[in-house]
């Protein structure tokens, strides 16, 4: 019998801890569940040592954590993970199922969709609920990332993967109550055609700008690598990090880890200063979580200037050194006081 209820999210176990994306899905999942006046469930798979961390997800807003622990789930193997999640979805029938668009989530979600013959929207950056029929509107950049598409599933659960870094992290509330349930998959679901021969950890990113509270970012409008380098001086004064557009990375002005947007990372700083950045959707997709956005551009009609909380029309090559000078002066005055 079909009776789809509740919002479910996939909880990702990294082999050491719960993946950061899980906490982001918990906050957005909680918001959607509250709007639908239904519950939030976490579906999680892993080896037995993941149990304690999985149980803890209740204090991050989950009403129920459904878990399968088995040594066979120690390494991520696409087929058995998909088979177990598909069995969970058949049993629990959530209205909505969200996966993180991490490497694991991007491998898993399409396989689950294939097994259950469901639709799937990849890399969503926002969701809305259509009141009249409780449909989940899944929003993502599309058509060469030029437009924001609003997509509705024709199948249930309505499934989507979610771009990491877009939603805030769920807060821990010790007093939040929920259930913990073990799901026993069929023996068949735990049979894999794959054998993990070797695991090679990916080299760690040089810098992680996703956690920065202040980001000073630069684009082609800064004109040269020399001017771009001044952003590091400003970032240091503001205790922040440096962000960049893709063309600037392609010119070799900065490493890939600093790139913000569809090809880079999403950031959530309190303050973002964009120097000489036009503000194409490719870039601004990564700025959804910015609290205060300041744009500095010679062109008042640049999209980032329109989107900004504070738009400063002027030459970034003049404003940047002046700002550095002013901040240095303020800092030395404070030290003298």
Three-state DSSP class for 191?
coil
Closest to ligand FAD by CB, 171 or 224: 224
Residue from 219, 240, 269, 289 binding ligand FAD (CB under 6 A): 219
Total residues binding ligand FAD (CB under 6 A): 28
Question: Minimum CB separation from ligand FAD for residue 35, in Å?
Answer: 30
CA distance 72 to 227: 53
Three-class SS state of 128: strand
Q: Which segment (70-78, 129-137, 231-239, 259-267) binds ligand FAD by CB under 6 A?
A: 259-267
293-322 residues near ligand FAD, rule: CB under 6 A = 296-299, 302, 315-317
Q: Quick one: which of 126, 148, 190, 220 contacts ligand FAD (CB under 6 A)?
A: 220
Q: Check whether the bond before 157 is cis (ω within 30° of 0).
A: yes
User: In terms of CB distance, is 113 or 259 closer to ligand FAD?
Assistant: 259
Instruction: List b or e across 78-107, with b for residues whose CB sees 16 or more CB atoms inside 10 angstroms.
Output: bebbbbbbbbbbeebbbbbbbbbbbebbee
Rg of the chain taking only CA atoms, in angstroms: 22
Which of these ranges, 53-61, 179-187, 230-238, 240-248, lies near ligand FAD under the rule CB under 6 A? Answer: 240-248
Please return the burial class of 250, using the count of CB atoms within 10 Å of its CB with bins 0-12, 13-18 and 19+: exposed
As a whole number of angstroms, the distance between CA 243 and CA 272 comes to 9
Q: For residues 66 and 46, what is the distance between their CA atoms, to the nearest angstrom? A: 12
Q: From the CB of 207, what's the least distance to ligand FAD, in Å?
A: 16
Q: Should residue 179 be labelled a site residue for ligand FAD when binding is judged by CB under 6 A?
A: no
163 binds ligand FAD (CB under 6 A): no
Nearer Cβ to ligand FAD (158/245): 245
Nearer to ligand FAD, 119 or 247 (CB): 247
Nearer to ligand FAD, 80 or 260 (CB): 260
**Residue pair 128/134 in contact by the 8 Å Cβ criterion:** no
Residue 217 contacts ligand FAD per CB under 6 A: no
The answer to whether residues 205 and 264 touch, using CB atoms and an 8 Å cutoff, is: no
CB of 120 to ligand FAD, least distance (A): 21
Q: Is 251 in the site for ligand FAD (CB under 6 A)?
A: no
Minimum separation from the CB atom of position 243 to ligand FAD (A) = 9
What does the per-residue mask of binding to ligand FAD show for 90-129, with x meaning CB under 6 A? ----------------------------------------
Determine the Cα–Cα distance for residues 68 and 50; give it in Å rounded to an integer.
10
Q: Is 259 in the site for ligand FAD (CB under 6 A)?
A: yes
Which ranges constitute the DSSP H helices of the chain?
20-35, 51-56, 78-92, 103-116, 225-237, 246-250, 281-284, 303-307, 316-336
Q: Which is nearer to ligand FAD, 155 or 255 (CB)?
A: 255
CA distances from 318 to 235, 310, 323 (A): 17, 18, 9
Let me know: does 68 contact 95? Beta carbons within 8 Å: no
Nearest to 241 by CA among 214, 268, 265, 275: 214
The minimum distance between CB 95 and ligand FAD, in angstroms, equals: 32
Q: At what angle are helices 225-237 and 316-336 packed, to 10 degrees? A: 30
Q: How far is the CB of 257 from ligand FAD (least distance, A)?
A: 12
Q: Which of residues 263-292 bind ligand FAD (CB under 6 A)?
A: 263-264, 276-278, 280, 282-283
Binding site residues, ligand FAD, CB under 6 A: 145, 219-221, 245-248, 259-264, 276-278, 280, 282-283, 296-299, 302, 315-317
């Amino acid at each position: 019998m079909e009776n789809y209820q509740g919002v479910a999210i996939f909880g990702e176990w990294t082999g050491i801890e719960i993946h950061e994306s899980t906490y982001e899905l918990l906050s957005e999942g909680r918001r959607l569940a509250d709007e639908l006046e239904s519950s939030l469930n976490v579906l999680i798979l892993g080896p037995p040592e993941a149990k304690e961390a999985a149980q803890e997800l209740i204090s991050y807003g989950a009403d129920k954590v459904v878990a399968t622990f088995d040594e066979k789930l120690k390494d991520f193997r696409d087929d058995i993970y998909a088979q177990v999640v598909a069995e969970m979805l058949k049993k629990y029938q959530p209205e909505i199922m969200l996966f993180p668009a991490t490497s694991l989530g991007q491998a898993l979600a399409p396989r689950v969709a294939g097994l259950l013959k469901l639709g799937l929207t990849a890399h969503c950056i926002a969701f809305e609920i259509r009141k009249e029929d409780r449909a989940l509107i899944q929003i993502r950049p599309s058509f060469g990332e030029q437009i924001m598409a609003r997509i509705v599933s024709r199948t249930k659960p309505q499934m989507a993967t979610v771009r990491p870094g877009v939603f805030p992290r769920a807060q821990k509330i010790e007093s939040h109550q929920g259930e913990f349930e073990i799901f026993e998959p069929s023996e068949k679901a735990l049979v894999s055609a794959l054998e993990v021969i070797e695991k090679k950890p990916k080299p760690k990113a040089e810098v992680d700008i996703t956690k920065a509270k202040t980001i000073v970012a630069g684009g082609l409008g800064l004109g040269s690598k020399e001017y771009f380098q001044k952003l590091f001086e400003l970032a240091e004064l503001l205790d922040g990090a440096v962000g960049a557009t893709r063309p600037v990375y392609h010119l070799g002005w900065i490493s890939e880890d600093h790139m913000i947007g569809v090809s880079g990372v999403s950031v959530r700083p309190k303050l973002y200063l964009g120097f000489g950045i036009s503000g194409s959707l490719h870039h601004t997709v990564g700025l959804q979580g910015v609290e205060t956005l300041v744009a500095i551009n010679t062109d008042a009609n640049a999209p980032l200037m329109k989107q900004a909380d504070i738009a400063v029309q002027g030459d970034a090559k003049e404003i940047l050194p002046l700002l550095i000078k002013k901040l240095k002066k303020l800092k030395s005055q404070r030290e003298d006081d």
